[in-house]
A and B are shown apart, each in its own frame.
Chain A
């Protein structure tokens, strides 16, 4: 599993106010979707990639690797647009006659497919910019500032914190079962897995009780109130967001 969060912590853009990054990513995403032009999509992809890799210091190999994550869905989706079925071979660049019909790729289809392809990659790059420069904790802080109900944000925070502990516990138990031949055949395996899940649930329940006790000891009164590490005060990213998106919108309008 690629742990995006570890790269977000290492990013040089981490210290920037997460709200600004959030706004920048969302507006650019919006413009990319609205413009629906090859040039704009490519520009967004390039800008976001540039900012993540050059300004953030994320390794380029990782960025490219992540770009391949949506590829499987994307290729299938794009192929259905690129490939057409017609009664005659005219207009096709390449075509195959099958049972009186012609299946092939047309120029228009190719262009359409390409446009969609890069529109998706451009949009995805906006989200990658955000997640590769902003750790989960900072994103939660944004949600809090955007007045998302406290309960939801707190739950997300606790889930995120303890998912690692849960996985670790499960992993240790699995190893322990394995070393006592708990998975030697299918029946034993199912029985062991059942025991593991049940124990994990009980452990989680007990741990939540212990956590509550220790929160109480530090004056928990029903709300988890904390302060965040202060962020850089500059509004640099807002300015970048405005300049970049004005240019993009302007270019898109002239092209249309």
Chain B
């Protein structure tokens, strides 16, 4: 077992219309972590995601899953897609059935599992995503947040090793964002999944993610832990991103108002700790 579950090497992809979306992208995704991919609109995040389970085949370069290059034959793709599950941004593009139960069962039935096993997995996935009470509801009567959960359950039912989510928090209200991220974090811990999310929501990154990649113009411009990445303020701003609000506040306090923090935390709890240290130092 290699430490990297997915590895992308010098990946290039050009769309049929000539758009060069990925330009020599290198990336190593560690097993059992939550990895965030940050990037402005049009940075190539979705194109990258479509490479992770073989929907797109790179124009050049290679994708490795568990250390082995991806096999693009029919059988190879089926195996890959069982291991790498993708949840798409718009659940309306993913939910094809008017019945929640049917939609969730789809992936498991396709794996040709015995009926008992499918039903068990459907129950588990619905339980985990908190949608058991929606079993008998028609899909079109659900709220956006509920549809999102159904979409996640429909992928979890395949029990993948890697869960890829394209903008899982887009379009959700603050409580919905918090619930979805907690749900993902719990699932990741319990099942030992590797989770990859793309997002614009910078504030959630230091709270839920272990590793961050920043993309711009089809390549990786920054990578590291949230703390490492968010200390590269200039580089972040150059690619149309920003610091988490808390980080920004502390930066201003430090640079303009003479608070001499030793480091710049980017979460509320981190900021609280830094403030307390600052206060205690002043007292003594």
What residues of A have a CB within 8 angstroms of the CB of B55 in the complex? Answer: 213, 216-217
Across the interface, A219 reaches (CB within 8 A) one of B94, B97, B107, B141, namely B107
What residues of B have a CB within 8 angstroms of the CB of A225 in the complex? Answer: 106, 109-110
Nearest CB in chain A to that of B109: its residue? A225
Are A210 and B93 in contact (CB-based, < 8 A)?
A: yes
How many whole Å from A204's CB to the nearest CB in chain B?
A: 12
Please measure, in the bound complex, the distance between the C-alpha atom of A215 and the C-alpha atom of B155, giving whole angstroms. 11
Please measure, in the bound complex, the distance between the C-alpha atom of A229 and the C-alpha atom of B123, giving whole angstroms. 11
Majority-rule SS of A interface residues: helix
**Chain A 201-235 interface mask (CB, 8 Å, partner B; 1/0):** 00000010011011111111100111111100000
Please measure, in the bound complex, the distance between the C-alpha atom of A165 and the C-alpha atom of B85, giving whole angstroms. 25
Please measure, in the bound complex, the distance between the C-alpha atom of A220 and the C-alpha atom of B111, giving whole angstroms. 10
Interface size on B, residues (CB 8 A): 41
Are B96 and A211 in contact (CB-based, < 8 A)?
A: yes
Nearest CB in chain A to that of B137: its residue? A9
**Interface with B: A33-41, A87-95, A103-111, A155-163, which one?**
A155-163
**Chain B 104-117 interface mask (CB, 8 Å, partner A; 1/0):** 01110111000100
Please measure, in the bound complex, the distance between the C-alpha atom of A210 and the C-alpha atom of B106, giving whole angstroms. 17
User: Is A6 interfacial (CB 8 A cutoff)?
Assistant: yes
**Chain B 70-95 interface mask (CB, 8 Å, partner A; 1/0):** 00000000100110011010101111
What residues of A have a CB within 8 angstroms of the CB of B59 in the complex? Answer: none
Please measure, in the bound complex, the distance between the C-alpha atom of A4 and the C-alpha atom of B68, giving whole angstroms. 53
Evaluate whether A226 and B93 lie within 8 angstroms (CB atoms) in the complex, with A9-B137, A219-B110, A221-B110 already known: no
What residues of A have a CB within 8 angstroms of the CB of B81 in the complex? Answer: 216-219
* Complex A-B, nearest 10 residue pairs according to Cβ-Cβ distance, in ascending order: A219-B110, A164-B140, A226-B102, A218-B107, A210-B93, A227-B105, A214-B94, A137-B99, A225-B109, A229-B101
